[in-house]
Structure 1
Amino acid sequence: MQMIVNVANAERLATEVFADVMTPPPPVDYLGWAESNIVFSQRESPMPGPYNRDLFFYFDEILRALSPDDPCRVVTMAKSAQLGGTVLANIFCGGSMDMDPGDFLYVHPTENNAQRWSKMKLSPMLKGTTALSKVFPSKARDGLDSVLYKERLDGKGAIQISGANSPASLSQVTMKRQVQDDLAKWEMNAAGDPETQADSRSQAHEFAKIFKISTPLVEPGCRISKAFEQGSQEKLYLPCPHCGHSQTLEWENFLANLDEEHPERSHFLCVEPNCGGVIEDWHRPQMFAAAKAKESDPQKPEAAWRASNPGAKRVHRSFHLWSAYSLLQSFERIARAWLTGRGNPASEQTFFNDVVGRAYRTLGDAPSWELLRDRGAKSERERGRIPVGHVIVTCGVDCQKDRVEWQVVAWGREHRRAIVDHGVFPGHISSDQARAFLDGLLKQGFANAYGRRLEIDVLAIDGNAWTDDVWGWAKRHPASRVIMVRGVGSEAAPLLIGVKKEVNRQGKRLPYSKRFFNFATSVLKMALYRNLAKDDQSERGYVDLPSGFDDEFYRQVTAESRKRVTTRQGFEHYVWVKDPNQANEGLDTHLQAEAAFIRIAGPTRALMDSVWERYERERDSVPAPVQGDLEDLLAQAPTPQPALAPSAQSARSRVRKLRIN
């Protein structure tokens, strides 16, 4: 019986391995990869179908900058919201893992963001893209596929997904490429500055690529704005459809030609003095085509992206793009978004961040308390009364060890507000005395200019400390009228959002979870200080001050300022600080009252005209005359309230000695 033994050709194997090692890798062409692999579904995009360069031609140069052919190490993109930044990051990530695999780091602001992106964006891309589905496992196998870690089947590369709030996830890894997503929302973690930690993960690679991408937030201190300024500062130039002069589309140009009566007519004007032609919505595809033609002109090519800091291009290329360039955003929508938000600093910040793609410059210091005091002293309106036009009433309550402080604010159209009254109740929130005072505050009402007494619509009480005691009082009142709140210092936090379902040690959901809200203290402070500085009563956002408040109230309202601080590790960031010798309950209670108004009017604080008209009809008018005999009149007259709301002056004097900040 013969035995056949197959012997490998060692020489041939060695030759094949040598050839494989010596063969240069194919060029990394992210643009070509996107055209071949990216297909948008109807759920993902209003323009479903394969990646179309004609619609997103402005992404071409950014994808070229991410390629190994460009010598730059860092690519930054400061942009408006919903402008395709995540698509670019996904192309960079997916294309790298397919064409030039290696270890890839994708960092989000928090681990919760990271998990959500992995489940909703990355996993569908890995499964739905043919080139990637072949090399990534479809099911968890030997730890190769988890929410925060995706490894190729051949072991040639993996995607590590991390949160900037977790220093452990940014340590002990070396990455050739990485994405730093939503960079402006990154905050200091327990080990220091997460951006520095992430950058160091690519330090060992000479030809690393770091893609920083985000919508800006607040200046000074905005990470993505700082990164843009450190880079080449490139902006997109488009030819005028009338004269061909290349220019950028600037917000100031659009604002000067924004038609308030007919927002649909808003437009740009050509900056060429001899032209001045109108640039309208429908001109943009024509301008894109002309810009591409100029770039490819063999005789005299003209770059669409031009740098203000060209010396940085070899190391750091930075790009800025905003909604006016996107075919997914009409000029009319941009105009209406501005008309809705202007005059309210919090809404203006959202507009500049999400629509214009710029950081919102803050007033770091509070307005002078002396100027506010003097303005209030001149007011003809006494504290405790509501001025004309302010028809919604809210209250903020702050709990201390020995007292409960409150502030009532009335709200009107055009983001205007009026401080009505502020006071102090002695006793802890758990005491029967303090609770009785708060019950009375909800019932007593405040007189307006027409003699009507308007009760508090929504009261927001601080539930961050003594939560169970606060809940013990709050649950006695309807959730539609009393809510619990706690402040969140992050400048990226939503203005008002429900606290996640909280459970006790036994895993049972706590009853107050349904009416417990986080609110963005930092954003509201910046907005309040801008509005307090306004001295024109007709201006949107004006804050009406009454007479009768003492100096201490104004010192409290202006007690904090946004300052740059340096950590022990030497990293700088911005936080709100106050004089340790100055109480700030006047500021806290005002912000809580504003949180209560947001609960009524929503984040934009822009109620429909019909809603305002209803409130004004019901509350801002002379009461109908009461008919009947003397006994009927006496029965219908307001019942005198017991002395349950001591004035801020007298109560504060009684508790000042016992105050514990």
Structure 2
Amino acid sequence: MTLEPRFAELRREALAALHPPPKLRLSDWIEANVYLPSSLAAQPGRMRLWPPQREIADAIGDDSIEQVVLYKSARVGATQLMVAALGHFVQNDPSPVLAVLPVDSDCRHFVTSIVEPTFSESPALRAALSADATGRDTMMTRHFPGGSLSIVSARSPRNLRARTARVIYGDELDAWENTAEGDPLEMAIRRSMTYPNAKLVLASTPIDADTSRIVRAYEATDQRVYTLPCPGCGEFVPVEWKDIRWEPEQPETAHWRTPCCETIVQDRQKAALVDSGRWTPTAEGVTGRRGYRLTSLTSTLPAAAWPRLAAEFLQAKRSPATLKPWLATALGEPWRGEGDDLDGVSFPALQRPFSAEDVPSEVLVVTAGCDVQADRVETTLVGWTREGDMRVLGHVVTWGSPTENETWIEVDDLLRRQFRHPAGSVLTVDATIIDSGNWADAVYAFCRPRAARRVLPGKGVPGFGRPGVAFSQTRKVRLALLGVDGLKLGLHQRLAHGETILFSNQLGGDYFDQLRAERLVTRYTRGRPTRAWEVISGRRNEALDTLTYATAARQLLSLDLDRREGELASVTGKTESPRVIRSKWLDG
């Protein structure tokens, strides 16, 4: 190399050091390099961020920001944004990355249905997660030059301990459950403490205000809200549900009335205002920790149109069982403690003149729940309406030891019972769950030959994040694993609000005392709040348990209710008398 070309090269290097090229913002990189497959987007192809997402993406890519918190609803594209950000850490900023999700099934879905399809669709990322030369790659661990991507369940403390990472991504924090080793969020954060430039990205829809991890994480940030310019006065204000108005029973008229000057804004104007919106911090003196409150009220997706949200609300508000998930998924609002106990509920006001002998006309489905004690089996029969409302038809006690066949013969007779419907036909018990508890052998023996009738043994599993019903196989019988904490909370909320659950007027005071037998308490372990059901001293809770099992049994069914209604209305014709053949021997 001659002196002159070498001098020119050194000069270029020196100028580059003095004036480095501007760093590409993460939002720009995402829109240039990330492609969404048709399985994840209504409009597949190159990813286009909507305005609120752009600042969030840039905050994730900013090395000076150590923590980004997304306190969000559904329908805001948060998962797609997180996967695109993972692509950035794989290609542009290689690092050990740890993604923590609630349970193992979520991890598998995240890898196979979200990460892999997105990376496969994006040319810049297609070869990024290639097989590791050492053969260490598994479904939940992928290696790439300069780093790795590990996806683990929050329920697996051993897997959390086994990994360190510079970037921690926690998804759906409020569905995480404390383990025997403590709070999985604290364990995950400790995995990054050896890195001076660690990055923590947390995202979740909230569940319950008292124990919400995402609410606590957001409150430790600068608490940004997305504000829109008011067309009337120009002031930037957030869109809140209390300002969405519509004519009575006409959700299609839903609009936004701005809080500053009460200007009426129609949904068709929303997209333009969102384009001009901005993030506004509401907590002063916080640096390095960004918090974003993201709701579907400012989403431009068709599913988040204000009239559609209003129509959903009118359906959801009938019952806390439907209102609670709507608040979380539509507004990103946590549930605030209603229904913790039932001492204030007037059960006589919820009683009506019906019973198992006189089934209400609106009942289309019947389920049963059984609790097994040393000297009896208690059964609650519940009727269900088209809308999912409950009609508690009766509570039956079958006396006898669960080790005796005669006891189970009586229980089987009860579960085979026919209920005359006012429409003309009859109903039978569509599904039953029997608590196996301390009598597993007897319950399994009873349920095994009756599985075709959806008579299943059940076992309660703790944890408010558990699904109402999951399944396991044991001793050649299908076992229903019941998320009893959440099921009981749903019943308490139904009873504390409205009349979506009504009771037969033949049920007595002792039955309702048993429904009041438990209350929800919040305890603190190592400074972290946890909730648990506590039996009130001196009270029995069999009625609450059987009602819980009958509620879970409804989740075993996927019925065509139009067909069921038609079947009930089609009264069978006159029954023919049995034909008698006279024996010739009698004439002999």
SS of 1:75's equivalent?
strand
CA RMSD of aligned residues (A): 3.7
Aligned partner of 2:491 in structure 1 is 528
Q: Deviations over 1:156-211 (max 9, x none)?
A: 22223222111122225442221011111110112111111111222233332200
Match of 2:241 among 248, 251, 261: 251
3-state DSSP of counterpart to 2:379: strand
- Structure 2 letter corresponding to 1:557: L
Deviations 1:71-102 (A, max 9, x none): 43221101122422122222222212322222
Q: Which amino acid aligns with 2:494?
A: N
* Cα pair 1:259 1:265 within 8 Å, conserved: no
Aligned CA distance change for structure 1 residues 431 and 25 (closer, same or farther; 3 Å): farther
After TM superposition, the structure 1 = structure 2 runs for residues 13-92 of structure 1, keeping only pairs within 5 Å, are: 27=23, 29-53=25-49, 56-69=50-63, 71-92=64-85
Which whole-Å CA distance do the structure 1 matches of 2:445 and 2:127 have between them?
Answer: 58
- The equivalent residue for 2:3 is none
**Once the 2 structures are TM-superposed, how far is the Cα of residue 318 of structure 1 from its aligned partner?**
1.1
1:310 equivalent to 2:296? Answer: no
In 1, distance between residues paired with 2:555 and 2:548? 10
Q: Deviations over 1:298-345 (max 9, x none)?
A: xxxxxx111221333x13221111223223224243233323332122
From the superposition, tell whether residues 208 and 364 of structure 1 become closer, same or farther in structure 2 (CA, over 3 Å): farther
The alignment status of 1:342 with 2:317, answered yes or no, reads yes
* Counterpart in the other structure of 1:649: none
1:346–1:527 contact (8 Å) kept in structure 2: yes
Give the Å deviation of 1:470: 2.3
Partner residue in 2 for 1:264: 252
Change (3 A) 1:104 1:477: closer
Counterpart contact for 2:519–2:536, Cα < 8 Å: no
Q: Is the 8 A contact 2:426 2:568 kept in 1?
A: no
Distance 1:478 1:102 in 2: 51
SS of match in other structure, 2:285: helix
| 8 Å contact kept, 2:75–2:299 | no
Paired position in structure 1 for 2:108? 115
* Aligned amino acid, residue 342 of structure 2: P
Report how far residue 260 of structure 1 moved. Answer: 3.1
* Correspondence for 1:507: none
AA aligned to 2:54 is D
1:232 pairs with 2:184: no
**Secondary structure of 1:479's match?**
helix
Task: Give CA deviations for 1:515-562 in whole Å, capped at 9, x if unaligned.
Answer: x4344323332222222234xxxx5514235245143x2232122222
SS at match of 2:87: helix
Listed as ranges, the matches of 1:174-573 within 5 Å are: 174-241=164-231, 244-254=234-244, 256-257=245-246, 260-261=249-250, 263-273=251-261, 275-280=262-267, 282-291=268-277, 304-312=278-286, 314-328=287-301, 329-331=303-305, 332-363=307-338, 365-368=340-343, 372=346, 375=349, 385-387=358-360, 389-412=362-385, 414-445=387-418, 455-463=428-436, 466-477=439-450, 479-497=452-470, 499-500=471-472, 502=473, 510=476, 512-513=477-478, 516-534=479-497, 539-551=498-510, 553-567=511-525, 569=526, 571-573=528-530
Is contact 1:394–1:596 with CA below 8 Å preserved after alignment? Answer: yes
Does the 8 A contact of 2:246 with 2:252 survive in 1? no
Once residues 446 and 568 of structure 2 are traced to their aligned partners in structure 1, the CA distance between those partners, rounded to angstroms, is 31
Rounded to whole Å, the distance in 1 between the matches of 2:518 and 2:100 is 32
Q: Secondary structure at the match of 1:141?
A: coil
What SS class does the counterpart of residue 452 from structure 2 fall into? coil
Q: Quick one: distance in 1 between partners of 2:558 and 2:37?
A: 34
- The one-letter code sitting in structure 1 at the alignment partner of 2:532 is V
Runs of 4+ residues deviating >6 angstroms: 22-26, 447-453
Paired amino acid for 2:52: Y
Higher strand share: 2
Residue 170 of structure 1, aligned match among 160, 163, 166: 160
Aligned to 2:584: none
**Residues in 2 aligned to 1:168 and 1:478: alpha-carbon distance in whole angstroms:** 37
The alignment partner of 2:413 has SS state of helix
1:345, 1:526 within 8 Å by CA — same for their partners in 2?
no
Q: Secondary structure at the match of 2:460?
A: strand
Cα distance between partner residues in 1 of 2:430 and 2:318: 24
Q: Residues 99 and 152 of structure 2 are in contact (CA less than 8 Å); yes or no, is this contact kept in structure 1?
A: yes
- 1:217 touches 1:492 (CA, 8 Å); kept in 2? no
TM-score for the superposition, normalised by structure 2: 0.84
Alpha-carbon displacement from aligned partner over 1:546-586 (angstroms, at most 9, x marks no partner): 245143x223212222222234x554312222236533211
- The residue identity in structure 1 corresponding to 2:255 is H
One-letter amino acid matched to 1:145: D
Q: Which amino acid aligns with 2:508?
A: F
Deviations 1:393-418 (A, max 9, x none): 32211223432111112233554333
* Aligned residues of 1:346 and 1:523 also touching (Cα < 8 A): no
SS in 1 for 2:181: coil
Aligned 8 A contact 1:362 1:526 in 2: no
The C-alpha deviation readout for 1:45-78, integer Å capped at 9, x for no partner, is 002121223xx11111112222335x43221101
Distance 2:541 2:451 in 1: 29
Q: Any idea what the Cα deviations from partners look like across 1:114-135, whole Å, max 9, x if unmatched?
A: 2332233333444444444455
Answer yes or no: is the 8 Å Cα contact 1:114–1:163 preserved in 2.
yes
User: Please, which of 105, 125, 143 is the counterpart of residue 98 of structure 2?
Assistant: 105
**Quick one: distance in 1 between partners of 2:428 and 2:147?**
64
What is the rounded CA distance, in whole Å, between the counterparts of 1:388 and 1:146 in structure 2?
55
Kindly provide the amino acid, as one letter, of the partner of residue 565 in structure 1: R
8 Å contact 2:356–2:419 — kept in the other structure?
no
In 2, Cα distance between equivalents of 1:30 and 1:212: 17
Aligned partner of residue 355 in structure 1, secondary structure: helix
Scaled by the length of structure 1, the TM-score of the pair is 0.76
Q: Percent identity?
A: 26
Give ranges in structure 2 of 5+ residues lacking alignment. 1-6, 579-588
Match for residue 585 of structure 1 among 535, 542, 549: 542
Report the Cα distance in structure 2 between the residues aligned to 1:375 and 1:426, rounded to whole angstroms: 30
Q: Is residue 424–residue 569 contact of structure 2 (8 Å, CA) maintained in 1? A: no
Structure 2 equivalent of residue 594 of structure 1: 551
Mapped to 1, the partners of 2:207 and 2:215 lie a distance apart of: 9
Q: 1:140 to 1:96 in 2, by over 3 A?
A: closer
CA separation in 2, counterparts of 1:152 and 1:476?
52
Indicate how the Cα distance of structure 1 residues 611 and 267 shifts in structure 2: closer, same or farther if over 3 A, else same: farther
Per the TM alignment, residue 26 of structure 1 is displaced from its structure 2 partner at its CA by 7.5
Instruction: Report the residue type matching 2:368 in the other structure.
Output: C
* Contact map agreement 1:395 1:458 (CA 8 A) in 2: yes
One of 142, 155, 177 as aligned partner of 1:150: 142
Alpha-carbon spacing, 1:218–1:565, altered in 2? closer, same or farther (3 Å): same
Work out the CA distance in 2 between the residues paired with 1:319 and 1:28: 22
Distance 1:627 1:163 in 2: 59
